[in-house]
Structure 1
Amino acid sequence: MSAMDLSALKNLNLDTGSIFLLAITICAFLIPVVVILPPVGLQKSDALLQTHTKAGVEGAKSNLKNQFSAEHAPVNGKPSKVHSLVIYPVKSCKGIELTRSKVLPSGLQYDRLFMFAQLKSPFPVAVDSTDEEKSKHKWEFVTQRQFARLANVTVDLWLPDEMKLRKQSMRSTEAFLILRFPWKEDGWRGLWATISAKLGRGRAAEPEIEVLLPVDFPSAEEIKEKGHTFEDVKIWKETINALNMQNELPEELSRYLGVSNKLALFRVDPEQLREVYRCAPTEEEAGYQPKTGFQDAYPLHLMNLSSVQEFSSEVPKDDDLKELDVLRFRPNIILSGAQAYDEETWKQIRLKPGTSKLYNDASFHVSCRTVRCKMPNVDPETGVRHAKEPDRSLRAKRAVDEGAPLSGCLGMQLTPLFDPSLGEDREAWVAVGMTVEVEGRGEHLYIKQ
């Protein structure tokens, strides 16, 4: 090294103190920039913020935050009322709590439009089955009964916001769903995803993958362009034809859920809804043929908080089951102020405006009790399945319907009724604060599928 080089190094004076001062200066500059403009990737919901508004109520605004309170007990002289409304746009995923909802013949608007299914081989098969029979695969619906982690798949409904669209000089009536599920890669990618999530959405945030889905049923051109197909899918004992949108799903979702078979997402075809019979009103009684989409059996499901609290008091609690959340039972309409189990004597009800801002009634045929399976064992907050409860207590204490003698019952299935003057434009509205008028009472007998 020359004498000139040594002199230049000495003139730099890069001692430890100088390096530290330089680092502090760089950090002082970068920290405000990171706070104001965090280096995080954009999410699909970030784009929708410009033109749409997310539907639903969350957190402190939820009407269900006080669901365990004694205030839901009946009060003499006061009718029971609608305390909360919930829809489940994707069957078996997290629901969306609403303050009001449109009622269609098939149920609440946006409820159970989508459903997951897995491709299954026939098993067992007879020894003399043909090769064709042995190799025949079919799609079967899946829920939290098989894959409890579906409870951790969050669904956001984004509706077009007229004010935002005006600011953007745009027009749109298109609504969207965003599915979100937890996912973190190994190594530095996972670490960076965690840092990005916390910088963008707060300290408690974790990495997620988002899936964007249009709510409206696609046109024939869109179906062809996207490569979707119409296929048969089995839901309970029924097989219906629906739109297979499996190419919209990331492969990470199957791995997260633990689905080893091929996984698909089906969209119900509004032209091929399932006709509802059994305990539902007949076409002559209802004025139309009751139909539904991907609901288990009937268009709507009603729960009474007093009944849930009464039953919960008989369910053994432990470290894994502190309270019996009403959302374990996947209700659409949640009532407050009714006598425990009184809903099991109702045959027809009318919801009246009450303290809601609606001006019209909504009528429902109370079709039958809800026969429970083991799905309520899954905690809707964590996606963790309890080993025994409340299934064991339901079977022991709520086997109250002669039509399902070995099963527990909790909640009631509803079929919408409409004013005949509406003609084919059958729709109504329900809202939090509406009061319940019981128009008919009687016995219920569950009819199996």
Structure 2
Amino acid sequence: MAAITALIRHYLEYLSKPGMILSVLGLVLPFILVAYFDTNPASPRKAVRIPGCLRLGLQSRSNLEDQFERRSLSNDGQPTVKALFTYPVKSCRGVELTASEVQATGLNFDRLFTFAQLTSTSKQAEQTLGNASGVSEEWDHQWRFITQREFPRLALLETELWLPDPRNKPAIPAHKARSRSRLDAESSQSRSRSRSRGNTLELERGRKDSDAPEVTSWVANGGCLLLRFPFEPDINPFGIRTETVTLQIPLVPTPQRQEAQNYKREELIIWKGCPLALNVTNEISAINLEKLKYFLGISNPLALFRVDEHSLRPVSRCLPQGTPAGTYKVGFADAFAVNLMSLASVRATDDELPDEADAKSKLDARRFRANIYVTGIQAFEEDHWKTIHLGHQINGHSFSASSTTAEYQVACRTARCKVPNVNPDTGEKDRNEPYTTLGRTRKVDEGAYPHPCLGMQMIPRFRTGIVQVGDTISVSETGEHCCEKMFK
């Protein structure tokens, strides 16, 4: 026993010599570093390219980079667009833009998708069997949208928009491609003298249809939405097993793509609305869907939905006087098409935060998820806007400085929940701030009570327009606001 102990001591002393430690590190460290930089989300990513598409949005410095510098607010009385954001997936990271087309339903691609979980509610039903009666328990299963309110790590899901490159020659229209393939198949079948040969051609045509451009081409499907998130398993020494998971979703799926991927139109609960929406979850592999659920901390079934343009929700409150019911509709936005916010209002809110708050002196405007960030005015000045003109309307496919300006109805203030408590960089939710401070300083609208308000909700009063960073805002009507309850 003493000999074994002495032998172990001898080897331990040998292995603990500096030269031996350096030798072991020299052999092992390169493998650790390679694995780390190949999988860690903080390391430089491999370039992603979507065939036939260009990436939309800013890819370098953000226009909000200097938002914490007071001189950047330039309170000169001339409201100016400082930054633009569209949010392709509700409650996920936005895409910063230099310009955007605006439809009646909001900025292009804004809240086009949303994640939802399947919720179950119990309902009691009377049951009669012969002469016996009783009560049986039944369940309602419904898809319900999710946000950072319940799952703050949604803030870490990065989004990219890839649109068809306009420099490319247009592909054969889908209906012509289908007609051509059908004629080719019929011609082949007419030359066939054998049923077996005809069956073979049918199988071949089926395989060709599944590989057709309208099914596989990103260009034919309106481009691509990229979603990224870091996945880290429970056992992950040195972080070397962390990987960046990338999901690819067609933006405007063709009927052929929808059929090939077995999309379904299902009811989706958004606040008090229950529109039909397109369930596109089959675009996500089962293993990646499980990783996403783990990352977000979701145990219920999870799905990704896309807006169905034929099943939008009508806005029924805070409409311009004399507006017929059903005139304005939205997709997955909470209530209104466009959200505007003044950076001076964010800084004023920051000033009111308690000294011990983590966000003190660095309250990021991105927490409030506005589409349009404005400088050039005093804090909360936008509270009194009623009608503004911003950017221009588009006639056909072009606009000019002399074209008609685009008019927006400033419908009401934005009633705030606790989403701004989520740090957009870490996905961590503060228990109190800034919601507590807003509750103390910004309960300024009786209609929104008990919620505080910050920012304004707007309705485009045109068919199609364009807004750009640097555009100035003309305020043509001011007045008082009173928020009305959400969808009736």
Q: For this structure pair, what is the TM-score category when the shorter chain's length is used for normalisation?
A: 0.7 to 0.9
Deviation of residue 395 (structure 1)?
1.1
- Any conservation in 2 of the 1:72–1:305 contact (CA below 8 Å)? no
Q: How many angstroms apart in 2 are the aligned matches of 1:337 and 1:429?
A: 21
Q: 1:238 aligns with which of 261, 273, 285?
A: 273
Q: What SS does the aligned partner of 2:318 have?
A: coil
1:201 is matched with: none
2:473 is matched with: 436
Runs (5+) with no aligned partner, structure 1:
1-22, 195-206, 419-425
2:249 is matched with: 213
Given residue 342 of structure 2, which amino acid in structure 1 is its aligned partner? N
Which protein is bigger by CA-based radius of gyration?
2
Given residue 223 of structure 2, which amino acid in structure 1 is its aligned partner? A
Return the TM-score normalized by structure 1. 0.78
Cα gap change, 1:178 to 1:439, in 2 (>3 Å): same
Q: How many angstroms apart in 1 are the aligned matches of 2:276 and 2:83?
A: 33
Q: 2:148 aligns with which of 108, 122, 144?
A: 144
RMSD across aligned C-alpha pairs, in angstroms? 3.4
Q: Percent identity?
A: 40
- Any conservation in 1 of the 2:384–2:478 contact (CA below 8 Å)? yes
1:158 is matched with: 162
Deviation of residue 391 (structure 1)?
0.9
Cα gap change, 1:188 to 1:95, in 2 (>3 Å): closer
Deviation of residue 165 (structure 1)?
7.5
Count of residues in Structure 1 that have an aligned counterpart in Structure 2:
388
1:183 is matched with: 231
Q: How many angstroms apart in 2 are the aligned matches of 1:210 and 1:225?
A: 21
Q: How many angstroms apart in 1 are the aligned matches of 2:90 and 2:389?
A: 27
1:101 is matched with: 100
The worse-fitting range, judged by mean Cα deviation, of 131-140 and 401-410 is: 131-140
Deviation of residue 252 (structure 1)?
0.7
Runs (5+) with no aligned partner, structure 2:
1-22, 128-133, 171-216, 393-398
1:63 is matched with: 63
Deviation of residue 51 (structure 1)?
3.0
Q: What SS does the aligned partner of 1:279 have?
A: coil
- Any conservation in 1 of the 2:50–2:224 contact (CA below 8 Å)? no
Q: How many angstroms apart in 1 are the aligned matches of 2:153 and 2:249?
A: 20
Deviation of residue 191 (structure 1)?
6.4
Deviation of residue 338 (structure 1)?
1.2
Q: 2:414 aligns with which of 366, 370, 392?
A: 370
1:190-246 alpha-carbon deviations (Å, 9 max, x no partner): 96655xxxxxxxxxxxx2101100111x33332222122111010011111101122
Cα gap change, 1:231 to 1:366, in 2 (>3 Å): same
Cα gap change, 1:338 to 1:132, in 2 (>3 Å): farther
Q: How many angstroms apart in 2 are the aligned matches of 1:75 and 1:286?
A: 38
Q: How many angstroms apart in 2 are the aligned matches of 1:92 and 1:188?
A: 28
Q: How many angstroms apart in 2 are the aligned matches of 1:333 and 1:214?
A: 26
1:305 is matched with: 343
Q: How many angstroms apart in 2 are the aligned matches of 1:396 and 1:103?
A: 35
1:383-432 alpha-carbon deviations (Å, 9 max, x no partner): 000010011111111000011222110000000012xxxxxxx2000000
Q: 1:390 aligns with which of 434, 446, 453?
A: 434
Cα gap change, 1:252 to 1:302, in 2 (>3 Å): same
Q: Does 1:330 align with 2:369?
A: yes
Q: 2:300 aligns with which of 261, 273, 276?
A: 261
- Any conservation in 2 of the 1:328–1:378 contact (CA below 8 Å)? yes
